[in-house]
Structure 1
Amino acid sequence: MTDTIFALSSGVVPAAIAIVRVSGPVAFEAAEALVGPLPPPRRAGLRALREPSSGELLDRGLVLAFPADGSVTGDDLVEFHLHGGRAVVRAVESALAVIDGVRPALAGEFTRRSLASGRLDLTAAEGLADLLSAETEAQRRAALRSADGLIRRQIEQWSAATVAAAAQVEAAIDHEEEGDVGAGDTLARGVADQIATLVRDIEVVLSRPSSERLHDGLRVVLAGPPNSGKSTLINALAERDVAIVSPIAGTTRDRIDAPVVRDGRAWLFTDTAGLTESDDQIEAIGVARARESIAAADLVLWLGDGPPPSSEMIAVHARADLPHRRHVPEGRIPASGTSVKGTAALWEALGRAASTLVPAADELALNNRQRALANAAASALRHADGQSDLLIAAEQLRIARELFDRITARASVEHVLDALFARFCIGK
């Protein structure tokens, strides 16, 4: 990473203020080429920015310099706080681009340098990526916990416990003939207890829902026979017209998705074709897709008057505002797509169901990548637990420790980094 990089790091221009960051070995020299002497470290100074070769005035703005030992990237870093016009930003970027050793940054390159310099670990970088894309309060809170190091600290605790167990096993291997470490059977039982406790701790975290549930939204499918009120209800839940409503059965022939944010939680509702047997080829395709959606759903709302096909489905008494449907059968939730309060009881039921499907506000939640590695580490620890062959136990503990390191990127995970930082904007 010998290049010095620059990019717009604030929001899309035009805006009131635009922040252009420069980071790398010649960041200070590049900045001085535009503004002359820099202000003292970490103190804002008003400067005139000029084109290096012609001296033409580009803008007047605040300049801040951050030496490498205290910067977020681990390199010298300069921020230009400019007027947020497109032409201003374009002119400053053009002036930086002609300086030797300076180039535009790639997506996520600033954060990637932070990771490489040890300013943050991979779990914090993933949390930062989630924070940048957060749209709900629950997403924001979970992303902040990850970005602030909650996951890293938990992984470090697991890794430290693994190292402690491995140290005892290695000591037993080295001194099993000397008798100064303790009786082998007693030591083995003690190590096994430590490993078993560690596995239980990991299993508790793995038993919680993944963090993707917060970001992708809970998938709720509305299912039932034709003309059972699915389209009317999804419009009411989304509070906008997303599906065509008609008294003609079979109006909906394909899946219709409606993303909704309510009470700080993301949902994805899907209207489906009515489940029926049909000789109509198009309608049959719609029914097949409806069944696929039901199989992949987190929750299914069953709007048919008959018993739900599965006990896990939420039985809904739709069109409850109609005179002939005002009696609500036992075990069903009344809902109406035409009245203001028609979905209140249904939202309450969905909220209760969601509480078991998404991470709680104060819980540590792993993403799918982290979960897979933690699960593999737990498996290695189980193999080590109770091993009579200490060499095999030591190898399994080494594998578990390496898997923990891969979660935080202490081990090489280049393919993961490439995928992660592709999600970032250019200036982050």
Structure 2
Amino acid sequence: MQPFHQDTIFALSSGRLPSGVAIIRVSGPQTRFITETISDQVPIPRKARYGLLKNRKHEVLDSGLTLFFEGPKSFTGEDCVEFHIHGGIAVVENFLEALAEFENCRLAEAGEFTRRAFANGKMDITMAEGLADLISAETESQRRLAQLVASGAQRDLYMNWRKKLIQARAFIEAELDFADEDDVPGSVSEKVWQEMKVLSQTIEKHIADGKRGTMLRDGFHIVIIGAPNAGKSSLMNLLAARDVAIISDEAGTTRDLLEVKLNLNGVATYITDTAGIRESAGKVEQIGIQRAWDKAAEADLILYIEDLSAPIKLDMSDFKTEIWKIGNKADLITDTKTDYNFIISTKNSTGINFLLENLTKFITEKTSLQNDIVPTRRRHIDLLSQCKSEIEKAYKQENLPLELRAENLRHASQYLGKITGDVDVEDILDVIFSQFCIGK
């Protein structure tokens, strides 16, 4: 997406039609002229004006509110206007057609309002990403995390770290260039390297918290795996408290991945039922089994379930993910099994509440944040890891010349700049802003 700032853009910025009220947003150089034409005058900035709204032929489009925002004190940094009109489908379509009749005025692309805000210095990339997460937040924890990022707290933290890196590099280069001058203390680099070691450790902890933040943003993923008829689908239905999966005594009933979303203590939790793992399976079932293994490899937690009355062991040794071994069909046995994390019966719901309580506790612990400001995207974590690596190269490689170690600090500051957009990141802007809906 390439924004053309000579164009004035417009879009429906409110929810799905029909609705009680629809908000149409306009931004760009033609905004003032459009406002004067449709609303008969430009209202006092930030004060709503009610009246008839007309097209260029002076035909009445609707009656409603006009709210004008004069640039640069607007969301996009340009002149903006919002028309609050009735939310009928025909009313909105007619209004949008009237806007399209103005010269150099077109329908906005996805995320274009936010991209103009970024281009005009109203926000950095992290704030734009936080805004996108805020719009899509479905749980309280997701909302809180997104709100903090959108407020600029994450940007301020990274800018502070980048400032420290630039300052450290300046001290190193000063020692290189002016080592013979009386006003530049010698061996200042020793203090710099100690500060860089502390900064590296701080970033390392921040990255660890970021993995928790990613779970909050993207959800916690649980995969149920086991042999056919072990009770996987029954367990999923009980955890979801509704019939999500088909239950049958016939082996191989579940052939594809079935996923349900739960809200466990404010954390979006995705539970996936998979095909039963067995060797003598048909071609279609084999595809389902492979998908089961692949999905389990990506999970945050695996629930490995076995039939206590006729256990079929699966080799789970290759998985690095935490695995809870669950024994099902406790109603069919009398002896106590000790090599399971949980004993349940999906037939009479024995042990299900205890399992769910422990799942909720486990997920809460895994997603609890030591610090509210955390990286929330894989992009952030990757760039922070590269930044940390460059800092470590700088302070650990004592045998290298100072100018090379200073270059490592320069690379580290660039990686931080790529997170916030202070360094050219045109290649990722299209991806970020395309995640927004039209009108945002």
Shorter-chain TM-score range: over 0.9
Q: 2:359 aligns with which of 326, 347, 350?
A: 350
Unaligned ranges ≥5, structure 1: none
* Alignment partner of 1:44 is 2:19: no
**Alignment partner, residue 376 of structure 1:** 386
Report how far residue 33 of structure 1 moved.
0.8
**Paired residue type of 1:420:** I
Tell me: CA distance 1:273–1:198, structure 2 relative to 1, closer, same or farther (3 Å): same
1:249 aligned residue (248, 251, 255): 251
Deviations 1:402-421 (Å, cap 9, x if unpaired)? 11111101111122110111
What is aligned with 2:437? 425
1:354-381 superposed Cα distances (whole Å, 9 cap, x missing partner): 2354353853331110111111111111
Inter-CA distance 75–188: structure 2 relative to 1 (3 Å threshold): same
Counterpart of 1:400 in structure 2 is: 412
* Partner of residue 195, structure 1: 196
Tell me how far apart the structure 2 counterparts of residues 344 and 403 of structure 1 sit (CA, whole Å).
46
Confirm or deny: 8 A CA contact 1:334 1:345 kept in the other structure. no
Matched, 1:14 2:18: yes
CA distance in 2 between partners of 1:44 and 1:6 (Å): 19
Instruction: Name 1:142's counterpart in structure 2.
Output: 145
Equivalent runs, 1:21-420 vs 2, <5 Å? 21-53=25-57, 55-184=58-187, 187-208=188-209, 209=211, 211-278=213-280, 280-304=282-306, 305=308, 309-310=315-316, 312-320=322-330, 322=331, 324=333, 327=336, 329=338, 331-339=340-348, 342-360=351-369, 363-366=372-375, 367-386=377-396, 387=398, 388-420=400-432
> Residue type of the partner of 1:66?
F
TM-score, length of structure 2 as denominator length: 0.90
CA offsets, 1:289-336, max 9 Å, x none? 33223222211112114677558311223234x263695646532334
2:342–2:351 CA contact under 8 A, matched in 1: no
What letter is aligned with 2:329? R
SS at 2:333 equivalent:
helix
Instruction: Supply the AA of the counterpart residue of 2:11.
Output: A
SS of residue matched to 2:19: coil
* Identity percentage of aligned residues: 39
Decide whether aligned partners of structure 1 residues 91 and 273 sit closer, same or farther in structure 2, where only a CA change above 3 A counts: closer
Contact 2:265 2:360 in 1 (8 A): no
8 Å contact from structure 1 (residues 66, 78) kept in 2: yes
Q: Structure 1's 176 and 51: CA in aligned 2 closer, same or farther, altered over 3 A?
A: same
Indicate the RMSD between aligned Cα atoms, in angstroms.
2.2
Q: Using a 3 Å threshold, how does the CA distance of structure 1 residues 325 and 118 change in structure 2: closer, same or farther?
A: farther
Q: Does the aligned pair in 2 maintain the 1:317–1:329 contact within 8 Å? A: no
How many residues align? The count is 424
Per-residue deviation at 1:210?
5.2
2:66 is aligned with what amino acid?
V
Shift of 1:217: 2.2
User: Match of 1:396, as an amino acid?
Assistant: N
How far 1:264 moved relative to its partner? Answer: 1.8
Give, as a single letter, the amino acid of the residue that structure 2 aligns with 1:255.
L
**Aligned residue identity for 2:255:** R
Change in CA separation of 1:239 and 1:360 when aligned onto 2, cut-off 3 Å:
same
Distance 2:335 2:144 in 1: 41
Displacement of 1:337: 3.3
Q: Comparing 70-79 with 350-359, which one deviates more in the overlay?
A: 350-359
Shift of 1:342: 4.8
* Partners of 1:138 and 1:361 within 8 A in 2: no
**Could you tell me how far apart the structure 2 residues matched to 1:331 and 1:360 are?**
30
Q: Which amino acid aligns with 1:23?
A: S
- Gapped regions of structure 2 (runs ≥ 5): none
C-alpha distance in 2, partners of 1:397/1:76? 40
Q: Which has the higher mean CA deviation after the structures are superposed, 413-422 or 270-279?
A: 270-279
CA distance in structure 2 between the partners assigned to 1:65 and 1:286 by the alignment: 56
1:389–1:356 distance in 2 versus 1, CA, 3 Å: farther
**Aligned partner of residue 367 in structure 2, secondary structure:** coil
Instruction: Kindly provide the amino acid, as one letter, of the partner of residue 157 in structure 1.
Output: N
Give me the whole-angstrom Cα distance separating, in 1, the residues matched to 2:370 and 2:142: 10
- Supply the distance in 2 between the matched residues of 1:363 and 1:316 (Cα, whole angstroms): 34
Q: CA deviation at 1:193?
A: 0.6
**Structure 2 Cα separation of the partners of residues 313 and 197 of structure 1:** 35
